[in-house]
Amino acid sequence: MIRSMTGFGAADGLVGSAHVSVELRTVNHRFFSPSLKLPTALSRWESDVREALRKRIARGHVTVSARLERTVTAGAVIDEARFAEYARQLTALRDANGLQGDVDVATVLRLPDVLRVGAEDELPEDAAEALLRIVDSAVTALTDMREREGARLAAVVLERLSVVNAAVERIAARAPERVIAQRDRLLENVSKLANGVALDDQRLAQEIAILADRLDVGEEIDRFRTHIAAFTDALRDGAGEAVGKRLGFLLQEMLREANTTGSKANDAEIQRDVIAIKEELERIREQVENIE
């Protein structure tokens, strides 16, 4: 299924004796752009988590946050050297700034990394494997949400694309009529200007041929139909692929054909349809920017 680049997924489980919760949030981005916030005890496996995400997420800015809670109470460990250094610095700051009050034990114990419960090296050897299983479950939940949103986006885009296709077919039907109308207008104007003077029929035929070639949008219509078919196929058959970039490229090609058709039009009805096409392509582009 087509996937949106916006989503959320969460999972939790045990890593050794610790309970770990992982949350993933994604928004649109041109490339795969991960941002990881792991607890100190898990940070050594940041590269493993990043690679696990890369294998399952092709595009999008991915924010990963994890929490670790010990389920087994271990003895409190005080880093005495860090405690002493904090106390020395606080005392010096108090004296240097003429402040009142004592530097008490509770204040120092609340400072970072002075007091910890248990040791970080208590995590077992298979902690990385357990962590990656939790990450994988969170990615699965994220993917489910992104696919549901992707299905909604695909439906909206296909609806808008049908409007574009209808306008293209109106232009295709109008184009021959417009050429005939321009030919008749040319003949009428030349006849009035000649005012009874004999005309060179061969030269007039050449001018009509030049006019018809200048007004012909047949190639643009054929290419437009091809792009619409390719766009539709990518939306419907792009299961498991990151098709957002391909859709963006096809939109650029369709806009190019619309601009060329508009420049050749010289016809109010065709110009109205060209404007309608460009408006719809812009609406589609806004949706496609969020497709993986």
In this prediction, residue 259 carries a pLDDT of 93
Q: Are residues 270 and 182 in the same domain?
A: yes
Q: Are residues 20 and 109 in the same domain?
A: no
Q: Residue 160 falls within a domain, yes or no?
A: yes
In this prediction, residue 194 carries a pLDDT of 60
Q: Are residues 130 and 64 in the same domain?
A: yes
Q: Return per-residue pLDDT of the chain as tens, 292 residues.
A: 789 999 999 999 999 888 999 999 999 999 999 999 999 889 999 999 999 999 999 999 999 999 998 755 556 678 889 999 999 999 999 889 888 888 888 888 888 888 775 544 467 778 999 999 999 999 999 999 999 999 999 999 999 999 999 999 999 988 877 766 666 666 566 556 566 565 556 665 666 666 555 667 888 899 999 999 999 999 887 655 679 999 999 999 999 999 999 888 778 888 899 999 999 999 999 999 999 9
Q: Are residues 86 and 63 in the same domain?
A: no
Number of domains forming the structure of the chain: 3
Q: Are residues 141 and 196 in the same domain?
A: no
Q: Residue 1 falls within a domain, yes or no?
A: no
Q: Are residues 46 and 89 in the same domain?
A: no
Say if CB 2 and CB 243 are below 8 A apart: yes
In this prediction, residue 77 carries a pLDDT of 77
Q: Are residues 159 and 247 in the same domain?
A: yes
In this prediction, residue 240 carries a pLDDT of 55
Q: Residue 132 falls within a domain, yes or no?
A: yes
Q: Residue 121 falls within a domain, yes or no?
A: no
Q: Are residues 161 and 210 in the same domain?
A: yes
Q: Residue 223 falls within a domain, yes or no?
A: yes
Q: Are residues 203 and 244 in the same domain?
A: yes
What is d(CA 288, CA 292) in angstroms, rounded to the nearest whole number? 8
**pTM of the complete model:** 0.70
In this prediction, residue 177 carries a pLDDT of 73
**CA–centroid distance for 144 within its chain:** 16
CB half-sphere exposure, 217, CA atoms < 13 A: 30
The pair of three-digit structure tokens given for residue 243, joined into one six-digit string: 């098709």
Q: Residue 21 falls within a domain, yes or no?
A: yes
Q: Are residues 132 and 86 in the same domain?
A: no
Q: Are residues 69 and 138 in the same domain?
A: yes
| Beta strand residue intervals within the chain, DSSP E | 7-15, 18-27, 32-37, 60-70, 76-78, 115-117
Q: Are residues 222 and 200 in the same domain?
A: yes
CB half-sphere exposure, 157, CA atoms < 13 A: 28
Q: Residue 2 falls within a domain, yes or no?
A: no
Q: Which domain holds residue 85?
A: 76-116
